Amino acid sequence: MTETGDLGLRERLVAAALVRRVTARAATRPARSPTLCYVGPVAEEGLGRTDLPEGGQTVPLRHDGRDRPYLLHVPPASPAGPVPLLVELHGRGIDPIAFDRWTGFRKLADMAGFVVALPSAIGEIWNDGRLPPADGSDPDDVGYLLALIDDACCRLPIDRRRIYVVGMSNGATMAGRLACEHPERMAAVAQVAGTAALGIARHCRPAVPLPILHVQGTGDVFSPYAGGRRRGLWARLVFLGRRAAGPSIGVDAWARLWVETNGAAEGPLVETLPPDTTVRRWRGSSAASDLAFYRIDGGGHTWPGSRQPMPRFLFGRTTRAFDATEVIWDFLATHARAAPAGRAVDESGGPPGRP
């Protein structure tokens, strides 16, 4: 046999050995349910890695030509079956770790058994639709957050029926943009001290209902209850020299938009939480219609019941009438998105729908 023939034989033997090795690995790897891992455009890094340790882990992610890593917090003892995912969006000018010290969602996740993803906005400001165009370099944060969800679902056994988004301030308006543009990707959303950019809200025509819990203080000068731009000299000085954000839709108009979208004809049912909070709830024919809007009379640009109260002279008063973290999780955890028609679903672990 010629040298060329020997080379060809060796190449075929090596190729055959590689095929056997890959086949053996695939046979021992647990199969993924289509419910747990979205099949579509996903992150360039990390597909299929499910060996993340419990606790915090920085996860590499590249999106739209940028490195956009995020923190993934895994509870120490997850329940059997797929687990919920909470995407926590920080406000402008604060990093995600510092923000979570206010909210305490990672500590709650350890007790309740859900995963928390903490993404980072470029320059600590989300492209929520309120900023004037820069030079074409504004990040696609909607695409980034969707890619992050896909990436987390391919690393861990996440239940895609129970993906939730929560945000405050600029993070809240980013959550509002995501709710308007991709409500089908989430089971519920919670917002504190923010609604949505006025331009986003004007074109908001969600194709499916989405449960929303909203919290807002009437004394908030950074995100006024009635909508518009931030008010007062102090609120303007805080972000002096930075790109000024455009107007937001008012809370009552935001509530009306979602009452109509969700077909929430029952309500509002009004509840009072002394000394300063009024809760309005709307319901419809299913749990997907649920809405809860918390109005804090005189409340500032703060996180109610925060573990680390924000300076009152700067952000206003923090109510103690309720704990926003606990109230938000109680609301989110009762909602699960219906499985897409024709798709296999792992029924374990999801909360029941409304009878």
- What's the rounded Cα separation, in Å, for the pair 327 and 304? 10
Q: Taking residues 328-354, what's their average pLDDT?
A: 65
Three-class SS of residue 55?
strand
**Which stretch, 19-23, 61-65, 164-168, has highest mean pLDDT?**
164-168
Amino acid symbol at 212: I
pLDDT digits (tens, 9 = 90+) for 207-228: 999 999 999 999 999 999 999 8
Q: What is the pLDDT of residue 343?
A: 44
| Domains along the sequence of the chain with CATH | 20-226+234-333 (3.40.50.1820)
DSSP 301: S
Kindly write down the DSSP assignment for every residue of 337-348, as one continuous string. PPPPTT-----T
Continuous H helices in the chain: 3-28, 96-103, 105-112, 141-155, 170-181, 198-202, 233-238, 251-262, 312-315, 324-333
Distances (CA, A) of 64 to 43, 67, 68, 145, 147: 10, 8, 9, 12, 10
Distances (CA, A) of 129 to 91, 134, 203: 14, 12, 11
Amino acid symbol at 339: A
DSSP 183: G
Phi then psi for 339, rounded to 5 degrees? Answer: -70, 140
Q: What is the pLDDT of residue 313?
A: 80
> How would you classify the pairing of strands 115-119 and 66-67?
unpaired
**pTM, rounded to two decimals:** 0.81
- What's the rounded Cα separation, in Å, for the pair 258 and 170? 20
Q: What is the pLDDT of residue 134?
A: 63
pLDDT digits (tens, 9 = 90+) for 97-147: 999 999 999 999 999 999 999 999 998 899 999 877 666 678 999 999 999
CA angle 282/195/125 to nearest 5° reads 150
